[in-house]
Amino acid sequence: MCATCGCGKTDEPEHEHEHVGPDGKVFRHTHAHEHPHEHSHEHEHDHARVLRVERDILAKNDALARENRARFDAAGTFVVNLMSSPGSGKTTLLVRTLHMLAGRTGAAVIEGDQQTSLDADRIRATGAPAVQINTGKGCHLDAAMVGRALEALPPFRGILFIENVGNLVCPAGFDLGEHRRAVVVSVTEGEDKPLKYPDMFAAASVVVVNKVDLLPHLAFDVGALEANVRRLCPHAPVLRLSATTGEGFEEWLAWLARERG
């Protein structure tokens, strides 16, 4: 007898399905394929519920992002959301950037990681203020987290860098109140990253190709990467640099100055 509805049909093994919301939470439900009509109705109901939750989460986040942006604008703070996969060199990029901006403009960092304050400690060693956000199991920063972090930073005229959690999926869907999005990809990754993670690259204000000092040792086609970026975001500049050696850094600093206006 079916354990779900009490009918005389024989139970079949249940199968579990997952839906992942934009905040990284996993919604699970199980079903047996013995009752196609009932399963279809249940699946549609669950799918609608997940979509409703996602819309509510994003709507609340967008409202808080607008509040953050208003605070930034009032203070004269230009905000760049730095996003990438793990290991692309975002923190090394930030450390060199902060050293080179010293004496030119004020700068601060909000640092996002699942655990530890290692990256924030590296940032503070440059003399720039940094606020660490640990997301635990969360795979991205959201506008509420950034809003709370701002309480630890006095308003200032300059550039605020938000280093997002290393992830090319979830961060793309969450506005933090930033003015520009910089997507960092390294030459140790694949040229097809933009095609695999289109939402991230389609929303990029600039794409930074890092670790170009390693190109002589790799079979990486920078031209193919740029072509894939152009398919998704035709107007975003693609900058080639090395956060380790400093090659190409003046072009990155010029972009920051130009976009800050």
Tens digits of residue pLDDT in 135-163: 998 899 999 999 999 999 988 899 999 99
Residue 130 is predicted with a pLDDT of 96
Q: Is the predicted pLDDT of residue 12 greater than 70, yes or no?
A: no
Residue 38 is predicted with a pLDDT of 54
Alpha-carbon separation of residue 221 from 34, 57, 184, 210, 216 (angstroms): 51, 39, 16, 13, 11
Residue 133 is predicted with a pLDDT of 96
- The dihedral over CA atoms of 211, 216, 221, 227, expressed in degrees to the nearest 10, equals 50
> What token pair was written down for 244?
């380790």
- Any residues with CB less than 8 A from the CB of 189 and at least 6 apart, and which? 85, 88
Tens digits of residue pLDDT in 20-47: 444 444 444 444 444 445 556 666 767 7
- Name the CA radius of gyration of the chain, rounded: 22
| DSSP character string of 191-230 | TTHHHHSHHHHHT-SEEEEE-GGGGGGS---HHHHHHHHH
> What token pair was written down for 217?
């040792």
Tens digits of residue pLDDT in 39-79: 566 667 677 776 776 677 789 999 999 999 999 999 999 99
- Bridge partners, residue 79, by sequence: 160
Q: What is the pTM of this model?
A: 0.80
Residue 57 is predicted with a pLDDT of 79
% of the chain residues with pLDDT over 90: 74
What's the CA gap between 97 and 250, in Å, rounded?
A: 10
Pairing label, strands 26-31, 15-20: antiparallel
Angle between helices 36-75 and 143-150 (to 10 degrees): 30
Mean pLDDT of the chain: 86
Residue 111 is predicted with a pLDDT of 96
Domains, the chain = 75-260 (3.40.50.300)
Q: Which residue has the higher pLDDT, 11 or 160?
A: 160
